[in-house]
Amino acid sequence: MTDRRIVRRAFSWRIVSRVERPEAVVLALVLAGVAAAGWYASAFWMAVAIGVQLVLGGLGAVWVIGPATARLGFARYATLAAAGVALTVFGRLTVGSIGLAMLPISAVLLWAVVWLELQANRVGRSGLGLELALIGIVFASAAGIASLVGADGWPAGMALTLAVAAVPAMRSAERRSRFGAEAMGQALLHLLAIAQVAAAAALLTIPPIVGAALLALTFHAWGGAAESLDEGASARSVAVEFGALAVLGLVVALLLSGG
């Protein structure tokens, strides 16, 4: 019996030792647990959970990712915290249907965010995976916050959504090798586009989930257009391609709202 336990412990240790940055796994589990506590808590304690997410996510990212480098920017240290906040507010939408099954999903998603940032730190650039994570943060935060504030509280909800989306917007600018004041300027323009769509969705009384999908689509379209322009594409082709995508998203949202 003792020999079996020794073998199991040795096997478990080999698995853990093969995992890159085991502390990232621990951090993801802790943040997922904090998010789960926020799903069942009152509004006050959910706000406390969000505060804990911000502190642990920020400090934990610095601990796991390592020292800052100017060539990669600094928003990557806030990505994990933003993901934790997004999962905290979004989880309240899903916990009624799937219960705590959302907990391991949240842990995996949070670990994926850390892993993607570690990969970007190693190779010096970020890929499609991180872009999808940023889009997911915008969608989850918008949907969760809209469900919390209700239709009448859309101005406050829009402000809170923009506060969370500021991190993905800044990180998206840094993905395009824009840093400092230039990155802040592009992030502000990115947020302005999201704010316009958010206000339109609220005034048209589009359902929160559909409106959140529209905001995520806007985030992707604006970032894609900026990246295409940086790569030398003509302004006309970018306007046609991403403008058509935005119009299609709006038409689909209106049809779903009317249905």
pLDDT of residue 171: 92
Reported as half-sphere exposure (CB side, CA atoms, 13 A), residue 95 has a value of 18
- Does 43 score more than 90 pLDDT? no
- Does 124 score more than 50 pLDDT? yes
Q: Where are the domains of the chain?
A: 20-258
- Over residues 52-67, the mean pLDDT reads 89
CA distances from 91 to 35, 94, 143, 145 (A): 8, 5, 10, 11
Would you call 73 helix, strand, or coil by DSSP? strand
Is residue 92 within 8 Å of 40, Cβ to Cβ?
Answer: no
pLDDT of residue 106: 92
- Does 129 score more than 90 pLDDT? no
Rounded CA gap, 237 and 234, in Å?
5
- Does 105 score more than 70 pLDDT? yes
Rounded CA gap, 49 and 217, in Å?
28
Tokens standing for residue 256: 């779903």
pLDDT of residue 68: 65
- Does 16 score more than 50 pLDDT? no
Is residue 257 within 8 Å of 217, Cβ to Cβ?
Answer: no
- Does 189 score more than 70 pLDDT? yes
pLDDT tens, position by position, 222-231: 887 777 766 6
Rounded CA gap, 111 and 90, in Å?
17
Rounded CA gap, 234 and 236, in Å?
5
